[in-house]
């Protein structure tokens, strides 16, 4: 019996991605020009999955309206997790739809079909395994989940954010599970009100055979919002995304698109503008005359004014960068709450529907919240809260 | 509205009962009050009942009906006689040799009924349809073969109809159409027949659109379509692009809420390739440079009429002589029409009988006609000289939402196309509308407002200029799905009568956008109701001081008049939805209503 169905976990906000997650969950943030979740679906469909169950919660209408009732002819069932009590709880919410073995995949990290395929084929060759988890080699596991894998390929231990110097493989968040494993993993008591999938997995590793599928596939995670720039670069480098200009986009004869760059549907690039390299313009983005956009992810419906500069810039949806404004590029220190991230390669991060009136200068590493207004000629630095006005 | 489905399958083909019941369930969204099926072999098995499809299912002796290959089915929305088992279709003759399903109205049924009654026929129902099986039976008795008997019966009918019939002992379906939609599906396992493509789209996407005055004879492997004179008509088999999955609710509780959330996408589709901000041009590919400087008459019904009022207002602002008419009144009104006139019919389904009738009349008077519709291949596209599609995608909720927004935008583009194009600013504003609608969907306080105001005595909606049709549509949506009393008025009309309705139990929704004279005058009208203690809800972009007089504010992004009309309406859609939801109404299938109204 092969694995035909997948449960995709897409209910969590991803708080570290604020302020971009104001109205949508992390899986709907752009990796290139498509939501992270759409990449995940692409890879699952390519790996032969015929049924998708998506657990939605925070900002769920963003997911439901984007994908509708099916994706590339694969039907999608939406299961609502009303309160986000962790990934284990999310799986429990979807568990009633599980009748046979299934894949479980994180919807907020990019995995390729190779990892998915390796997990499926490894699981199918070991009748003793109740669960198989995809693992990859990775340099820095401090932010992620690690697995100790024995010589025979079984998982002997699961450790979150490991700091000791044992040899860990990174847990890629792709699991093949027998129905009984789902049952065992969702029967665990929550710790501190949150109920992680990892708690269930740890319990399973102690009692049953859990296999690791070592893979050379691509795995990418955006931990912080400015990581979206690196994600886009990686997608270009690995050939996952190739440069393209949508047929419904309009590019003026004197404008230049420097490869690699993606220009989405309905975009307009005015005379003399230079877009690229490493630029992703979501749908219906407008770039004004003689503007420069380089190494940036510009989300849908945003407008970059005439003569503006946007370098190392991440925008949410419907952002207005006014005429002559300058996002001059990183590196800079990025301040999030009380933490300072030194020398990040970020020009500015500007969240949904913030509008600058023009002639605004953004110091490297600036973060502007959603629906803020920046008056003409202002200089912004550090972090600006949502819905504020900067004079 | 009534739905028809039929199937005649090859040996080893699909189970007819299953095809019919599934087909009827996909037509449920059109609204109905009773349903029935007839399966044919040596004899006929007819089963029908009042109420939901589940009622019919529960009364069916399903086991004994399995394995049949030929049948017809129907969902009925009452026009003649109340919903009842007897009035449900199919109808049969006295001996049960002929079963008939019918959409539309037989206008001369009383005359035919009297004639049959005089000949000794007794009737079981109060419907107009029942004359048809009796007529067919009377011709069978005189020795006609079934096809000839069917044709002779249909020839006697006046009015609008899509009719399908089966005869005992045969494995064929006979059908005919006049001013009511009918489509044949060509499958590998037989032939399908329906009033609407979704009824058989699970089985085949190859279709033949039947035209007015044509007759259809279907067997498992053969089909013959003939005109009124009996001459064979060669009809193209077209492939329809309609994803059956498109009709799921995608995790929303109701189709209506799903469709409200689909509006940004629908509007992008409507605008795609039609506005060019680089060149400052609009191109409506379907209309190929059509320009017009004569009078323009928009005809439409219900929500589409409100879009027509929007369109006529914009045309007049641009100096064109334009008016909007309720289609059912259009003919009665004797509006002057001539060869210089452009008559624009606005109909989501493309099958609205009142609108089709108005367009046919206009055409007879020599007018140029243009259809603005959501449905490719629908009747209106064949009646009119030109067609502009609004590209909103399938809409299942009976209360129109996304199709209204797409009509507003498509008609704005049409107004631009007809004289002189649109300005750069107007094009930029149009391109921003999808995101502004998304902003409202992301941030709306409509649910909280609904919770405060549910249970009020009545709900009034006012607006001026382009906000006037929004007020009308806001009230229509509200009454459609909440069943509460709601009325929309031109803001200035309030003091000429409706103000007598205003109390502290009648919330007034005022749409106020911009900061010009229009806004200032509407604010004066708000003060009139505020002075009478009515709770005031303003839908505003915050550019005027309207908020000062409001008890509740529903905010929209600042934009131009056209964008504001689209976006403000979304707030009112959400208020209606949440009030109806709190009241536990049947939101997707409101009582007494039908999705596309194919009778006049």
Which chain B residues contact residue A250 at CB under 8 A? 276-278
The answer, for A268 touching chain B at a CB cutoff of 8 Å, is: yes
Among B246, B265, B283, identify where a domain stops: B246
Q: Rounded distance, CA A104 to CA A40, Å? A: 12
Shared domain check, A110 and A79: yes
Shared domain check, A304 and A173: no
The answer, for A286 touching chain B at a CB cutoff of 8 Å, is: yes
- Give percent of chain B above pLDDT 90: 57
Integer angstrom CA distances of residue A206 from A105, A201, B60: 22, 9, 55
Q: Is A187 within a domain?
A: yes
**CATH number, domain at A78?**
3.90.550.10
Confidence of residue A271 (pLDDT cuts 50, 70, 90): very high
Q: Report the 10 Å Cβ neighbour count for A282.
A: 25
Among A220, A247, A263, identify where a domain stops: A220
Query: Any idea which of B238-252, B361-375, B524-538 has the lowest mean pLDDT?
Result: B238-252
Shortest distance between the Cα of A87 and any Cα of chain B, in A, equals: 19
Q: Are the beta carbons of A310 and A291 closer than 8 angstroms?
A: yes
The answer, for A284 touching chain B at a CB cutoff of 8 Å, is: yes
Q: Pick from A226, A217, A113: which is nearest to A170 by CA?
A: A217
**What was the ipTM of the complex prediction?**
0.87
Which chain A residues contact residue B443 at CB under 8 A? 23
Shared domain check, A250 and A189: no
Q: Which of A283, A318, A357 to probe by mutation at the B interface, max B CB count within 10 Å?
A: A318
Q: Just list the catalytic residues of B.
A: 2, 595
Shared domain check, B145 and B163: yes
pTM of the shown model: 0.80
Q: Which residues lie across from A320 on neighbouring strands?
A: A303, A355
Q: Rounded distance, CA A253 to CA B274, Å? A: 19
Confidence of residue B220 (pLDDT cuts 50, 70, 90): confident
Q: Pick from A98, A188, A108: which is nearest to A144 by CA?
A: A108
Shared domain check, B87 and B76: yes
The answer, for A56 touching chain B at a CB cutoff of 8 Å, is: yes
Shared domain check, B477 and B328: no
Q: Could you list the residue range(s) of the whole structural domain that residue A95 is in?
A: 5-220
Shared domain check, A74 and A117: yes
Which chain A residues contact residue B557 at CB under 8 A? 353
Shared domain check, B334 and B291: yes
Average pLDDT of chain B is 90
Shared domain check, A320 and A266: yes
Query: Any idea which of A8-17, B279-288, B339-348 has the lowest mean pLDDT?
Result: B279-288
Shared domain check, A133 and A197: yes
Residues 6+ apart with CB under 8 A from B463: B469, B470, B471, B488, B490, B491, B510, B511, B512, B522
DSSP state of B16: H
Q: Both tokens of residue B458?
A: 């009545």
Taking an 8 Å cut-off on Cβ atoms, the answer to whether A61 and B277 are in contact is: no
Confidence of residue A384 (pLDDT cuts 50, 70, 90): very high
Q: Tokens 């990174």 belong to which residue?
A: A170
Q: Is A230 within a domain?
A: no
What's the domain count of chain A? 2
Instruction: Dihedral sign for Cα B292, B297, B300, B306, please.
Output: positive
Shared domain check, B264 and B171: no
Shortest distance between the Cα of B435 and any Cα of chain A, in A, equals: 6
Per-residue pLDDT reduced to its tens digit, B107-144 = 888 899 999 999 888 988 888 899 999 999 999 999 99
Integer angstrom CA distances of residue B569 from A14, B232, B519: 32, 49, 16
Confidence of residue B272 (pLDDT cuts 50, 70, 90): very high
Shared domain check, B448 and B394: no
In the predicted structure, residue B243 carries a pLDDT above the cut 60: no
Q: Report the 10 Å Cβ neighbour count for B67.
A: 11
The answer, for A254 touching chain B at a CB cutoff of 8 Å, is: no
Angle value at C-alpha B381, between B375 and B382, nearest 5 degrees: 135
Among A158, A189, A220, identify where a domain stops: A220
Tell me which residues of chain B have a C-beta less than 8 Å from any C-beta of chain A. Answer: 243, 245-252, 258, 261-262, 264-265, 268, 271-273, 276-278, 428, 431-432, 434-436, 438-439, 441-443, 557
**CATH number, domain at B534?**
3.40.50.10490
Q: Pick from B29, B25, B80: which is nearest to B53 by CA?
A: B25
Q: What is the dihedral of CA B353, B357, B362, B366, to 10 degrees?
A: 110
Shortest distance between the Cα of A25 and any Cα of chain B, in A, equals: 13
Shared domain check, A313 and A368: yes
On the question of a cis peptide bond just before residue B258, with omega within 30 degrees of 0, the verdict is: no
Closest by Cβ to A69, choosing from B250, B271, B276: B250
Q: Which of A21, A61, A265, A272 to probe by mutation at the B interface, max B CB count within 10 Å?
A: A61
The answer, for A246 touching chain B at a CB cutoff of 8 Å, is: no
Among B420, B441, B462, identify where a domain stops: B441
Q: Are the beta carbons of A110 and A217 closer than 8 angstroms?
A: no
Which chain A residues contact residue B249 at CB under 8 A? 69
Q: Are the beta carbons of B426 and B58 closer than 8 angstroms?
A: no
Angle value at C-alpha B410, between A264 and B267, nearest 5 degrees: 35
Sheet of A348-350: strand order equals A244-245, A261-263, A279-281, A296-298, A313-315, A348-350, A366-368, A383-384
Residue that wins the pLDDT comparison between A241 and A330: A241
Q: Rounded distance, CA A259 to CA A241, Å? A: 12
Shared domain check, A316 and A380: yes
Taking an 8 Å cut-off on Cβ atoms, the answer to whether A286 and B431 are in contact is: yes
Q: Is A229 within a domain?
A: no
Q: Are the beta carbons of B254 and B584 closer than 8 angstroms?
A: no
Q: What are phi and psi of A60, to 5 degrees?
A: -70, -25
Which chain A residues contact residue B264 at CB under 8 A? 65
Shared domain check, A261 and A212: no
On the question of a cis peptide bond just before residue A260, with omega within 30 degrees of 0, the verdict is: yes
Residues 6+ apart with CB under 8 A from B58: none
Taking an 8 Å cut-off on Cβ atoms, the answer to whether B265 and A67 are in contact is: no
Residue B86 confidence (pLDDT): 85
DSSP state of B578: H
The answer, for A50 touching chain B at a CB cutoff of 8 Å, is: no
Nearest CA in chain B to A53: B251
Shared domain check, A141 and A24: yes
DSSP state of B271: H
Shared domain check, B379 and B287: yes
Average pLDDT of chain A is 90
Shared domain check, A241 and A193: no
In the predicted structure, residue B246 carries a pLDDT above the cut 70: no
How many beta-carbon contacts under 8 Å exist across A and B? Answer: 82
Shared domain check, B526 and B459: yes
Which chain A residues contact residue B250 at CB under 8 A? 64-65, 67-69, 76, 78
Shared domain check, B196 and B71: yes
Residue A190 confidence (pLDDT): 63
In the predicted structure, residue B31 carries a pLDDT above the cut 70: no
Residue B486 confidence (pLDDT): 96
Query: Any idea which of A260-274, B76-90, B332-346, B580-594 has the lowest mean pLDDT?
Result: B76-90
**CATH number, domain at A285?**
2.160.10.10
Residue B29 confidence (pLDDT): 63
Nearest CA in chain B to A54: B251
Q: Which residues lie across from B206 on neighbouring strands?
A: B239
Q: Are the beta carbons of A347 and A333 closer than 8 angstroms?
A: no
Shared domain check, B167 and B70: yes
Confidence of residue B245 (pLDDT cuts 50, 70, 90): very low
Shared domain check, B210 and B234: yes
Confidence of residue A192 (pLDDT cuts 50, 70, 90): low
Taking an 8 Å cut-off on Cβ atoms, the answer to whether A78 and B262 are in contact is: no
On the question of a cis peptide bond just before residue B31, with omega within 30 degrees of 0, the verdict is: no
Q: Could you list the residue range(s) of the whole structural domain that residue B593 is in?
A: 444-600
Shared domain check, B86 and B226: yes
Q: Report the 10 Å Cβ neighbour count for B424.
A: 11
What's the domain count of chain B? 3
Shared domain check, A142 and A179: yes
- Which conformational region is residue A86 in: left (phi greater than 0), alpha (psi within -120 to 50 degrees), or beta? left
**End-to-end Cα distance, chain B:** 12
Nearest CA in chain B to A76: B250
The answer, for A320 touching chain B at a CB cutoff of 8 Å, is: no
With b for 16 or more beta-carbon neighbours within 10 A and e for fewer, the B191-228 pattern comes to bbbbbbbbbbbebbbebbbbebebbbbbbbeebebbee
Per-residue pLDDT reduced to its tens digit, B401-454 = 999 999 999 999 999 999 888 999 999 999 999 999 999 999 999 999 999 999
The answer, for A315 touching chain B at a CB cutoff of 8 Å, is: no
């Amino acid at each position: 019996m092969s694995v035909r169905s997948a449960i995709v976990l897409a209910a969590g906000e991803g708080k570290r991605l604020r302020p971009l997650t104001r109205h949508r969950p992390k899986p709907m943030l752009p990796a290139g020009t498509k939501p992270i979740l759409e990449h995940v679906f692409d890879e699952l469909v390519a790996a032969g999955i015929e049924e998708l169950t998506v657990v939605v919660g925070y900002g769920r209408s963003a997911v439901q309206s984007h994908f509708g009732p099916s994706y590339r002819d694969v039907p999608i069932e939406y299961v609502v997790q009303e309160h986000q009590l962790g990934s284990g709880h999310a799986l429990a919410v979807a568990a009633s739809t599980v009748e046979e073995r299934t894949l479980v995949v994180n919807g907020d990290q990019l995995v390729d079909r190779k990892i998915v395929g390796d997990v499926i084929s490894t699981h199918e060759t070991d009748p003793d395994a109740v669960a198989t988890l995809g693992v990859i080699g990775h340099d820095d596991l401090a932010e992620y989940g690690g697995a100790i894998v024995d010589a025979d390929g079984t998982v002997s231990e699961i450790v979150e954010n490991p700091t000791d110097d044992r040899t860990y493989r990174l847990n890629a968040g792709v699991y093949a599970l027998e129905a009984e494993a789902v049952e065992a993993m969702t029967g665990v008591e929550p710790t501190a009100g949150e109920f992680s999938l990892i708690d269930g997995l740890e319990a399973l590793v102690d009692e049953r055979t859990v296999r690791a599928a070592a893979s050379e596939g691509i795995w990418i995670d955006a931990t912080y919002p400015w990581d979206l720039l690196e994600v886009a670069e990686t997608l270009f480098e690995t050939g996952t995304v190739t440069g393209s200009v949508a047929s419904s986009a309009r590019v003026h004869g004197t404008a230049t698109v420097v490869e690699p760059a993606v220009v989405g549907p309905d975009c307009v690039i005015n005379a003399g503008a230079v877009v690229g390299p490493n630029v992703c313009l979501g749908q219906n983005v407008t770039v004004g005359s003689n503007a420069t956009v380089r190494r940036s992810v510009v989300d849908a419906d945003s407008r970059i004014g005439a003569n503006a500069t946007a370098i190392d810039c991440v925008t949410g949806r419907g952002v207005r960068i006014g005429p002559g404004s300058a996002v001059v590029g990183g590196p800079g220190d990025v301040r999030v709450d009380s933490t300072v991230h030194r020398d990040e390669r970020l020009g500015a991060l500007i969240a949904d529907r913030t509008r600058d009136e023009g002639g605004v200068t953004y110091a490297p590493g600036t973060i502007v919240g959603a629906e803020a207004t920046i008056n003409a000629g202002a200089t912004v630095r550090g972090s600006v809260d949502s819905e504020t006005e900067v004079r | 509205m009534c739905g028809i489905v039929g199937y005649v399958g090859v040996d080893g083909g699909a189970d007819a009962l299953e095809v019919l019941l599934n087909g009827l369930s996909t037509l449920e969204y059109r609204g109905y009050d009773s349903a029935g099926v007839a399966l044919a072999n040596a004899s006929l098995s007819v089963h029908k009942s009042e109420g939901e499809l589940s009622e019919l299912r529960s009364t069916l002796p399903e086991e004994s009906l399995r394995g049949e290959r030929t049948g017809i089915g129907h969902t009925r929305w009452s026009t003649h006689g109340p919903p009842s088992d007897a009035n449900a279709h199919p109808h049969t003759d006295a001996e049960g040799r002929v079963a008939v399903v019918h959409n539309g109205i037989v206008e001369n049924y009383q005359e035919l009924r009297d004639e049959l009654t005089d000949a000794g026929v007794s009737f079981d129902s109060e419907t107009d349809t029942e004359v048809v099986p009796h007529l067919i039976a009377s011709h069978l008795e005189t020795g006609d073969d079934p096809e000839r008997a069917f044709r002779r019966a249909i020839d006697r009918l006046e009015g609008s109809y899509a009719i399908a019939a089966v005869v005992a002992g045969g494995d064929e379906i006979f059908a005919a159409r006049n001013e009511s939609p009918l489509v044949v599906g060509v499958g590998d396992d037989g032939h399908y027949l329906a009033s609407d493509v979704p009824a058989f789209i699970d089985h085949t996407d190859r279709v033949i659109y039947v035209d007015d005055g044509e007759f259809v004879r279907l067997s498992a492997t053969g089909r013959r379509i003939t005109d009124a004179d009996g001459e064979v008509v060669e009809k193209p088999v077209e492939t329809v692009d309609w994803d059956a999955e498109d009709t799921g609710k995608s995790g929303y509780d109701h189709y209506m809420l799903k469709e409200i959330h689909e509006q940004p996408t629908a509007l992008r589709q409507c605008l795609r390739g039609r506005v060019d901000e680089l060149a400052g041009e609009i191109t409506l590919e379907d209309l190929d440079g059509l320009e017009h400087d004569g009078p323009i008459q928009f005809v439409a019904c219900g929500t589409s009429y409100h879009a027509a009022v929007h369109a006529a207002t914009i045309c007049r602002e641009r100096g064109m002589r334009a008016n909007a008419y309720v289609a059912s009144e259009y003919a009665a009104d004797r509006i002057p029409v001539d060869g210089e006139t452009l008559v624009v019919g606005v109909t989501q389904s493309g099958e609205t009988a009142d609108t089709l009738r108005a367009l046919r009349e206009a055409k007879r008077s020599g007018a140029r006609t243009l259809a603005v519709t959501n449905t490719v291949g629908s009747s209106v596209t064949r009646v009119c000289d030109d067609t502009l599609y609004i590209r909103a995608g399938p809409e299942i909720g009976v209360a129109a939402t996304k199709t209204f927004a797409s009509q507003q935008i498509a008609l704005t583009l049409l107004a631009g196309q007809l004289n002189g194009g649109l300005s750069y600013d107007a094009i930029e504003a149009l391109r921003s509308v999808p995101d502004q609608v998304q902003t409202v969907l992301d941030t709306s306080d409509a649910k909280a407002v609904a919770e405060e105001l549910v249970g009020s005595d009545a709900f009034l909606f006012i607006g001026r200029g382009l906000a006037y049709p929004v007020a009308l549509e806001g009230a229509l949506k509200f009454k459609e799905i909440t069943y509460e009393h709601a009325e929309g008025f031109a803001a200035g009309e309030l003091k000429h009568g409706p103000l007598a309705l205003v109390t502290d139990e009648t919330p007034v929704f005022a749409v106020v956008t911009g900061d010009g004279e229009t806004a200032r005058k509407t604010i004066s009208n708000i003060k009139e109701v505020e002075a009478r203690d009515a709770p005031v809800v303003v839908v505003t972009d915050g550019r005027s001081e309207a908020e000062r007089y409001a008890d509740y504010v529903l905010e929209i992004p600042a934009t131009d008049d056209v964008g504001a009309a689209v976006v403000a309406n979304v707030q009112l859609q959400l208020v209606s939805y949440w009030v109806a939801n709190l009241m536990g109404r049947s939101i997707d299938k409101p009582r007494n209503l039908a999705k596309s109204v194919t009778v006049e």
